[in-house]
């Protein structure tokens, strides 16, 4: 009897220890399941974040490519417009060529039609004979100085009689001597032919007024030269030439001035310039209807496969009072992460 009592008193501690170990194992398995679920959730969040970053980078790259292309086309359009203004307003083909050459350096190899159009425009502008406006302006100023130095008093005519060899009068007859004296008297009178009607001699005030009028006409010719007005330029020089031929025809210094005016009238100060409209239309068409490859960003679809959670075996916990085995709870408490 005593031995049976001892065994009965020793059994409850063993059953309690087994139940403790079983419950401990259940807790450890639950914690492991929680950790696995947390890790799965963290990896899912990281994948979503990485996919979102890739989509944003692709969109940013596409935007940068489009912006760079638009910026290049805008710069080319501005440079060609500037060259056109230098031609139309400034009438300066040299500056327009430099601007077009700078624009040509900005053209990409893919834009072959635009490069050919710029090459054609540059070749046409380089074939134009440039007008040296500075030199012509200085020639007109020198011409005015020469006119202001003129005098209305007729110049002494030049004697074109050749110097004859001196012959000893002792060897001449009286008739030859009389002929020589008559020749010397003839040289005292010089007859000049004037094709235009001779005006009377000018007084000082009228001469000053005529010279001031010619100075005004020459200044007008300089203005027309800078503004590329060929009609006004020719009209002003023609007026100066007429005044010189009318009032200073008996002066020897007039003829070189008239020759200089004729040379200035032959200059073309307003040459025909080519147009850049074809290049401008081509650039406008390229900017509006650009054939740019559109990058369709496809968002990657991430299929999150739910990994099966490990099955937790329900441990059997013995009942302390009735020594009966009762199953533990089937559904463990859910853990919210």
For the cut 50, the answer to whether the pLDDT of residue 121 exceeds it is yes
For the cut 90, the answer to whether the pLDDT of residue 224 exceeds it is yes
pLDDT at 270: 86
* Percent with pLDDT over 70 in the chain: 66
Residue 42 included in any domain: yes
Band of the pLDDT at 334, cuts 50, 70, 90?
very low
What is the DSSP secondary-structure string of 270-337?
Answer: S------HHHHHHHHHHHHS-------PPPPP---PPPPPPP---PEEEPTTT--EEE--SSPPP---
Answer yes or no: do 70 and 124 share one domain.
yes
Answer yes or no: do 175 and 260 share one domain.
yes
For the cut 70, the answer to whether the pLDDT of residue 76 exceeds it is yes
Answer yes or no: do 256 and 147 share one domain.
yes
pLDDT at 235: 94
Angle (CA) 214 244 224, round 5°: 40
In this structure, what token pair is assigned to residue 78? 């501005």
Q: What is the mean pLDDT of the chain?
A: 75
Answer yes or no: do 139 and 123 share one domain.
no
Q: Around Cβ 228, how many Cβ atoms within 10 Å?
A: 17
Domain boundary among 235, 265, 295: 265
Band of the pLDDT at 68, cuts 50, 70, 90?
low
pLDDT at 220: 95
Is this model's pTM higher than 0.85 or not? Answer: no
Answer yes or no: do 78 and 144 share one domain.
no
pLDDT at 155: 62
For the cut 60, the answer to whether the pLDDT of residue 129 exceeds it is yes
Mean pLDDT value of segment 174-184: 77
Band of the pLDDT at 299, cuts 50, 70, 90?
very low
Answer yes or no: do 281 and 199 share one domain.
no
Mean pLDDT value of segment 4-32: 67
Q: Around Cβ 237, how many Cβ atoms within 10 Å?
A: 23
Residue 161 included in any domain: yes
pLDDT at 302: 43
Q: What are the pLDDT digits (tens) for 35-62?
A: 888 888 777 877 777 777 777 666 666 6
Answer yes or no: do 161 and 185 share one domain.
yes
Band of the pLDDT at 232, cuts 50, 70, 90?
very high
Residue 121 included in any domain: yes
Please state, in angstroms and rounded to a whole number, the distance separating the CA atoms of residues 298 and 58: 10
Band of the pLDDT at 266, cuts 50, 70, 90?
very high
Answer yes or no: do 6 and 121 share one domain.
yes
Domain boundary among 222, 241, 265: 265
Number of domains in the chain: 2
Q: What are the pLDDT digits (tens) for 135-164?
A: 999 999 999 999 999 887 766 655 554 444
pLDDT at 140: 95
Answer yes or no: do 111 and 227 share one domain.
no
Residue 89 included in any domain: yes
For the cut 60, the answer to whether the pLDDT of residue 218 exceeds it is yes
Answer yes or no: do 68 and 45 share one domain.
yes
Band of the pLDDT at 327, cuts 50, 70, 90?
very low
Residue 180 included in any domain: yes
Q: What are the pLDDT digits (tens) for 247-259?
A: 888 788 889 999 9
Answer yes or no: do 195 and 284 share one domain.
no
Residue 333 included in any domain: no
For residue 318, what are the β-bridge partners?
A: 325
Query: Which one is predicted more confidently, 110 or 195?
Result: 110
Domain boundary among 218, 239, 265: 265
Residue 253 included in any domain: yes
- Number of helical H runs and strand E runs in the chain: 9, 2
CA 76 vs CA 66, 90, 111, 283: distances in Å: 16, 20, 12, 8
pLDDT at 69: 58
Q: Which of 59-73, 110-124, 227-241, 306-320 has the lowest mean pLDDT?
A: 306-320
Answer yes or no: do 137 and 261 share one domain.
yes
pLDDT at 65: 56
Q: Which domain holds residue 300?
A: 2-128+277-327
Residue 190 included in any domain: yes
């Amino acid at each position: 009897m005593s031995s049976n009592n001892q065994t009965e008193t020793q059994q409850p501690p063993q059953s309690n220890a087994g139940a403790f170990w079983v419950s401990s194992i259940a807790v450890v398995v639950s914690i492991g399941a929680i950790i696995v679920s947390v890790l799965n959730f963290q990896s899912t969040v990281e994948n979503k974040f990485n996919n979102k970053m890739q989509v944003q980078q692709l969109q940013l790259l596409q935007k940068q490519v489009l912006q760079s292309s638009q910026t290049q086309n805008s710069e080319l359009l501005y440079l060609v417009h500037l060259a056109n203004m230098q031609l139309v307003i400034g009438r300066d083909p040299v500056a327009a060529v430099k601007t077009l050459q700078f624009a040509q350096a900005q053209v990409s190899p893919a834009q072959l039609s635009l490069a050919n159009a710029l090459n054609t425009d540059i070749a046409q502008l380089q074939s134009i004979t440039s007008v040296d406006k500075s030199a012509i302006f200085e020639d007109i100023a020198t011409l005015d100085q020469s006119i202001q130095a003129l005098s209305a008093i007729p110049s002494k005519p030049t004697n074109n009689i050749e110097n004859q060899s001196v012959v000893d009068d002792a060897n001449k007859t009286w008739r030859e001597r009389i002929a020589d004296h008559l020749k010397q008297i003839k040289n005292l009178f010089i007859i000049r032919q004037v094709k235009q009607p001779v005006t009377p001699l000018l007084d000082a005030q009228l001469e000053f007024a005529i010279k001031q009028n010619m100075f005004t006409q020459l200044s007008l010719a300089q203005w027309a030269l800078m503004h590329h007005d060929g009609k006004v330029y020719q009209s002003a020089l023609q007026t100066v030439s007429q005044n010189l031929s009318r009032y200073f025809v008996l002066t020897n210094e007039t003829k070189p001035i008239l020759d200089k005016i004729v040379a200035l009238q032959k200059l073309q100060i307003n040459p025909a310039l080519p147009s850049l409209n074809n290049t401008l239309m081509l650039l406008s068409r390229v900017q509006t209807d650009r054939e740019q490859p559109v990058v369709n960003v496809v968002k990657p679809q991430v299929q999150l496969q739910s990994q099966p959670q490990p099955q937790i075996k329900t441990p059997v916990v013995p009942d302390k009072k009735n020594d009966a085995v009762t199953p533990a709870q089937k559904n463990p408490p859910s853990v919210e992460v």
